[in-house]
Amino acid sequence: MTGLAGLAGLAAGPASPLPIHAIRPAGLEAFLASRLPQDAAFLRAQHFTAADGSLHLLPGGEGVGSAVFGLGDGNSLHAFGALPKALPAGSVWRIETTGPDYDNATLGFLLGAYGFERLKSRSRLPAQLLASDVSPRVLAIAEAICFARDLINTPPNHLGPAQLADAAIALADAFDAKSQRVYGPALAARFPALHEVGSGSERPPEAIIFSWTSKNASPSAPLISLCGKGVCFDTGGYDLKPGAAMLRMKKDMGGAAVLLGLARVIMSLDLNLHLQVRIGCVENSISGHAMRPSDVIETHAGITVEIGNTDAEGRLVLCDLLAEAAAEKPDILIDAATLTGAARAALGPDLPALFSNNDALANDILAAGETVQDPLWRLPLWPGYNSWLDSNVADINNVSAKPFAGAIVAALFLKRFVPDSISWAHIDLYAWNDQARPGRPEGGEAQTLRALLFVLENRALRGDKEVSI
């Protein structure tokens, strides 16, 4: 089971690290002039131009003495993510750079060292950094991202609703948060729509709720509420997905994983916040007990929903969580979910879709994404499509009969459960890397975690109720 494990790219024990010199083209000649003549001659002979991602090892007294790494003219923290698996396995390094880029360099390195290998009989040890060379903030972020990646990458037979609930409870316990585990008849009464989604599976649904307050919280510390979709596997239910569409459905709990990771780093850094987290842990499966197309179900808010499609289950999980969270009147309410293929069709895998009923909050999140290289793109809560959710037999349908604007329609569905007075952001994300890139190995990804953290850190520093960076 995924726990609160350490980082593969971190060397905890004593070691004598080798230097990695990170060089941009503009600084190349000055760097060469500062080196031993034989090292400068070697790099020139190898036509080293400090191009992005270029790496050369230089000899030392007992083998490798140092490394030279080209950054090009870019400023991507992910560039350093190529190093842990390009440098000699198990070697320990120190990145020789200063200024604000240093934290990005160490974070990129640690994210690039990640690999989900605990189910393999053999694994490769990546190159490492000394733990003492990594700032506590970077360490907390890297641990949170790798924690979320682990949850997403865990196969569904190893991570069902109960195991996801276990992980959430373990996280809460690690930071002395107050937690509740809701299941069985209590779940059906409190979160009836969530319960219906999981009714077809032999692995029963659960909801986890935990609350935490900074040890040094000020009287004006804002209340932040997080709601995550934790569908551990999604068959589509009776509206069964094609086989190819099921291959990555273990990641359908990606929203829950990202928000649990965000909660972890908030608590690790002891931000000046009150935090509430709600996670719906469920499997969407098929049986004689599963919900059917044309069923009408209840919700926590008392709104009845006609099931137009059983594969639109994530919004049913979230609507109950959002309705209860909104009743607590948080200063910011955020949900995250791998909700629609329509968002991917519109924006591709790297840009999560952001919806919000508050322009200031949306602008803060978008600006934060740009600042920390964790981008999102805002789509509208277009009121002209509200009627597309009309039902003849219930208050609303969970889908539209029209084949357009699926991500917007899903967001409009959720908006029915959040009062306009609550500053709310809905994030429709992919939570996955389709191919390996520096710092972003193929598999689960904690998209938007760093952007949201940046916003909440600024709120915590100010401790006020105004939404802006």
The enclosing domain of 234 has a CATH number of 3.40.630.10
Amino acid, res. 86 = A
For residue range 143-163, list pLDDT tens digits in order. 999 999 999 999 999 999 999
Q: Select which of 24, 137, 241, 437 is catalytic.
A: 241
Number of domains making up the chain: 2
Q: Select which of 181, 229, 315, 415 is catalytic.
A: 315
Tokens at 98, concatenated: 């200063």
Q: Is 450 a catalytic residue?
A: no
Tokens at 56, concatenated: 């050369």
Of 48-57, 67-76, 227-236, 267-276, the range with the lowest mean pLDDT is: 67-76
Q: Is 315 a catalytic residue?
A: yes
In a domain, 414, yes or no: yes
Which of 83, 114, 134 represents a domain boundary (last residue)?
134
Do 281 and 168 share a structural domain? yes
Do 199 and 53 share a structural domain? no
**Strand arrangement, sheet containing 63-70:** 10-11, 128-130, 92-96, 18-23, 63-70, 55-60
Do 110 and 41 share a structural domain? yes
Residues 6+ apart with CB under 8 A from 359: none
For residue range 258-272, list pLDDT tens digits in order. 999 999 999 999 999
Q: State pTM to two decimals.
A: 0.95
For residue range 62-121, list pLDDT tens digits in order. 789 999 999 998 878 899 999 999 999 999 999 997 655 899 999 999 999 999 998 998
Tokens at 325, concatenated: 């969270």
In a domain, 4, yes or no: no
Tokens at 312, concatenated: 């639109």
Of 95-104, 363-372, 379-388, the range with the lowest mean pLDDT is: 95-104
Q: Average per-residue pLDDT in the chain?
A: 94
Amino acid, res. 354 = L
Q: How far apart are CA 188 and CA 205, in angstroms?
A: 10
Tell me 199's DSSP state. Answer: G
Do 188 and 113 share a structural domain? no
